[in-house]
Amino acid sequence: MANGPAGETNAPSADLKAEPVPISPGPGPVPISELPPALEHLDEVRRLAGGRPIAVFLDYDGTLTPIVDHPAKALLPEPTRRALQRLAETVPLAVVSGRDLDDVRAMVGLPGLWYGGSHGFDIAGPGGERLEMSPELLPNLDAAEGELRAALAGVPGAWVERKRFALAAHHRQVEDDRIPEVEAAVDRVAAAHPELGKTGGKRVFELRPNVPWDKGKALELLVEALGIEGADPFLVYIGDDETDEDAFRVVRDRGLGVVVRGEADARPTHARCSLSDPGEVPRLLLALAGPASARTPHEGVEPPEQGLDETP
């Protein structure tokens, strides 16, 4: 596997697995504002991992980059790209985004990774592997696209982005009192196309194939594709949005969900700890890559106090 087989992952020390951890205890969701900061609890993360090999999965927008007024402006900071590259040399790594597959691959710019586009409906590996979910519904998305563009033509600031397996109605630049018009238009198109389902996100409404598939199921498929299922990996998922909650639920009992907080973000989440903003993500990535990366200076990234292999 291009980004490292399970046997070569940088695993925490196995003699630390017995001690319980206080990171977001209990089975249910908690408000994001109440989660402990991940970078201040690396020792607890290490004990939670308990010597298992680590695999890391990440969202893109709002996680690796800040949310901006147009998706094309969400460029990956070079310090974050370098941290991703370092981590990919150490553990299995995949990026699962709401963006189109080709779009997120181009934005990240690291060819040796697995990528999931359209919230995991379109998955590709570094060796040419490819899996598309529900391609038979592409004509339905084509029809709904024309209807949605027409319905939103009169709402200033609203625009429709066609992805291969989704339609995104962006309202980041729409006046607050007109956002209900955007949602109503999406609802009308969804009602006319029951084979498509409506979902939400940060300043966006989406229509996707109405099938039982999401980022959580995509993550499970990626674990199998990476060839690490038999190693009982410690799964880390880092995301920021409602669409990441399915993945947080999958890793809650198998690893660690880390939510990147938004401004005044208090919604319930199944993540166990948090980062304050995308600027903290590369620090966590370097910690996950191990003590050598945690101690090595990386331009533009303040190193964490220790990597996950180090005993506090």
In a domain, residue 114? The reply is yes
| Co-location of 34 and 128 in the same domain | yes
Q: pLDDT at position 53, please?
A: 93
| Co-location of 46 and 126 in the same domain | yes
Please list the ranges in the chain whose pLDDT falls under 70. Answer: 1-22, 24-26, 291-312
Q: pLDDT at position 229, please?
A: 87
As a whole number of angstroms, the distance between CA 306 and CA 223 comes to 27
- pLDDT tens for 126-158 read 999 999 999 999 999 999 999 999 999 999 999
Name the domain boundary from 158, 185, 209: 209
User: According to DSSP H, which parts of the chain are helical?
Assistant: 42-49, 78-88, 101-108, 138-152, 179-192, 215-225, 245-251, 281-289, 291-295
Query: What is the edge-to-edge ordering of all strands in the sheet holding 93-96?
Result: 130-132, 122-124, 114-117, 93-96, 54-58, 234-239, 255-260, 273-275
As a whole number of angstroms, the distance between CA 140 and CA 195 comes to 8
Backbone angles phi, psi at 53, to 5 degrees: -65, 145
Q: pLDDT at position 290, please?
A: 79
Enter the tokens of residue 231: 């190693």
| Co-location of 198 and 226 in the same domain | no
Q: What's the structural domain count of the chain? A: 2
CB–CB of 183/193 below 8 Å? no
15: annotated active-site residue: no
Enter the tokens of residue 265: 């973000």
Q: Which of 43, 59, 61, 265 is catalytic?
A: 59
In a domain, residue 16? The reply is no
What is the maximal distance between C-alpha atoms in the chain? Answer: 63
| Co-location of 165 and 288 in the same domain | no
Residue 183 belongs to domain with CATH number: 3.30.70.1020
Q: pLDDT at position 309, please?
A: 56
As a whole number of angstroms, the distance between CA 145 and CA 139 comes to 10
Single-letter code of the amino acid located at 247:
A
Q: pLDDT at position 279, please?
A: 95
Q: What does each C-alpha distance from 310 to 43, 44, 128, 154, 271 come to in angstroms?
A: 8, 12, 37, 58, 24
| Co-location of 193 and 226 in the same domain | no
Q: pLDDT at position 303, please?
A: 52
CB–CB of 140/193 below 8 Å? yes
CB–CB of 241/257 below 8 Å? no
CB–CB of 56/288 below 8 Å? yes
| Co-location of 140 and 109 in the same domain | no
Name the domain boundary from 192, 209, 226: 209
| Co-location of 221 and 127 in the same domain | yes
Range of the domain at 259: 29-132+213-295
| Co-location of 70 and 92 in the same domain | yes
Residue 123 belongs to domain with CATH number: 3.40.50.1000
- pLDDT tens for 218-259 read 999 999 999 998 899 999 999 999 999 999 999 998 999 999
In a domain, residue 228? The reply is yes
Name the domain boundary from 184, 209, 234: 209
Q: pLDDT at position 293, please?
A: 42
CB–CB of 83/285 below 8 Å? yes
| Co-location of 89 and 222 in the same domain | yes
Q: pLDDT at position 142, please?
A: 97
